[in-house]
Amino acid sequence: MNKKISRFGSRFLGESGTKLLMDDLAQVAGSNNFINLGGGNPARIPKMESVFRSAMCEVLADRQFEEIIGSYDSPQGNESFLEIVCEFLSRNLGWDLTTENIAITTGSQSSFFMLFNLFGGMCVDGVERVIQLPLTPEYIGYGDLLISPDCLVSDRAKIREVGSNLFKYEIDFDLFHVRSNAGAVCFSRPTNPTGNVLSDAEVNQLVSLTGQEGTPLIIDNAYGAPFPNIVLDEIKIPRANHVIHCFSLSKIGLAGLRTGIVVAQPETIKAIKSINAATCLSINGVGAALIARLMVSNEIIRLCNEVVRPFYAEKSILAIEIFRKHLSGIDYRVHVSEGAFFLWLWFPGLPISDQTLYKRLKDRGVLIIPGSFFFHETNCSWEHPKECIRVSFAQSDEALEAGIKIVSEEVKRCCIKST
């Protein structure tokens, strides 16, 4: 490797979970030979696609189009869109905000890059602070974000068996404490990869514990309410000055438009605005333009509740049914599917590693994500991550049937061989 490259840069020449995932997505995009149960692409939902097509036609029909494509907008996001978001959140969540509380980003991945590096790493008071994940497994994309890579730390989830091959991760509040060097605590809700939804009680406890320490609590709502609202039960979204909310337009079907929304205290928003200005000058306004009218009319809430949420709820039931059919006879558990669009499978005592299973499945034309990528511990000694995989169910029913059959065959083959 080129020794003159920075330490930060050298990390991007090696392997990483996010890179593997995105490379797999690119490979699948150019080929018909794979069943993609791997990546985080949202499903192509025809009703949503036609809504976005009409929204684009409206943008094209007036001068707004030339404004959007021809000029750099504010690095905080388009001023009138900030007002629309503000009113939307006040109307639907009862939040009392001004536009100083809101910034638009080029997708929530970039929101997390900015937030993690604002609160994690060497601080001006000389203390090196960490970003603390209160339970893992947690989103793969948090892994590569910190400029000081050792500043991401995580706590292991408690496993609760909930019967009939089902289990659930919970925060182990007997052990959990906000670390004295925590710059921020962060979790996704629903959780990617597990489909877990932290209960309102767990979230309230985290809000209170971080509040007592004056530590920011970052909540990743990429799959959550009020949009895309891929959450099976109603949840409350907490609001407190130290709570930072990240939203994304990706999972309602606009992943290509790279639009994220951060709600935080004005000081944090100012910093995000400045980082946006330094790293990309201004924000692409197409996502905001497509969603703006749907937010003003609140139509986006109806679409999420009546189209997006039921779509994924049905897929989740179907995917679990197919696994149950094909996995009978072996020891397996599925994480309860409470939201997002993934199934998280655990094969206790799996005789091969998750990575080997991933490779064998890729050779058979099926992509999944190995479980260990979602455990953000250096030198993790826990066997559990190697016994888990993530499967996306945002695919056609036919792809789910064919792909899950192959996954199950491969797991059965190695489990039965070893007995």
Ligand X SMILES: Cc1ncc(COP(=O)(O)O)c(C=O)c1O
What phi and psi, each to the nearest 5 degrees, are found at residue 332?
-145, 160
Residue 301: enclosing H or E segment and its boundaries?
helix 299-303
What phi and psi, each to the nearest 5 degrees, are found at residue 114?
-70, -50
Q: Does 194 bind ligand X (CB under 6 A)?
A: no
Distance between CA atoms of residues 327 and 272, nearest Å: 47
Smallest distance from the beta carbon of 18 to ligand X, in angstroms?
9
Q: List the one residue from 260, 287, 339, 385 that touches ligand X (CB under 6 A).
A: 260
Surface-to-core class of residue 97, CB atoms within 10 Å of its CB (0-12 exposed, 13-18 middle, 19+ buried): middle
Q: Does 192 bind ligand X (CB under 6 A)?
A: yes
Contact track, ligand X, 215-244, x by CB under 6 A: -----x-x----------------------
Distance between CA atoms of residues 96 and 90, nearest Å: 6
Q: Does 358 bind ligand X (CB under 6 A)?
A: no
Does residue 367 sit in helix, strand or coil?
Answer: strand
Smallest distance from the beta carbon of 38 to ligand X, in angstroms?
12
Nearer to ligand X, 221 or 408 (CB): 221
Q: Does 108 bind ligand X (CB under 6 A)?
A: yes
Subset of residues 26 to 55 that bind ligand X, contact rule: CB under 6 A = 40
Asked whether 249 and 287 are in contact (CB, 8 A), the reply is yes
Distance between CA atoms of residues 278 and 269, nearest Å: 14
Nearer to ligand X, 139 or 332 (CB): 139
Q: List the one residue from 17, 38, 77, 107 that touches ligand X (CB under 6 A).
A: 107
CB under 6 A: which stretch of 106-114, 179-187, 199-207, 343-351 binds ligand X? 106-114
Smallest distance from the beta carbon of 143 to ligand X, in angstroms?
12
Q: List the one residue from 101, 117, 136, 248 that touches ligand X (CB under 6 A).
A: 248
Q: Does 141 bind ligand X (CB under 6 A)?
A: yes
| Amino acid identity at 110 | S
β-pair type (333-335, 260-263)? unpaired
Nearer to ligand X, 88 or 139 (CB): 139
Residue 254: enclosing H or E segment and its boundaries?
none
| Helix 79-93 with 286-296: angle, nearest 10 deg | 40
Distance between CA atoms of residues 73 and 273, nearest Å: 11
Nearer to ligand X, 78 or 191 (CB): 191
Q: List the one residue from 139, 311, 346, 347 that touches ligand X (CB under 6 A).
A: 139
Give the distance, in angstroms, between the CA of residue 215 and the centroid of all CA atoms in the same chain. 22
Nearer to ligand X, 143 or 211 (CB): 143
Give me the residues that bind ligand X (CB under 6 A), please.
40, 107-109, 139, 141, 188, 192, 220, 222, 248, 250, 255, 260
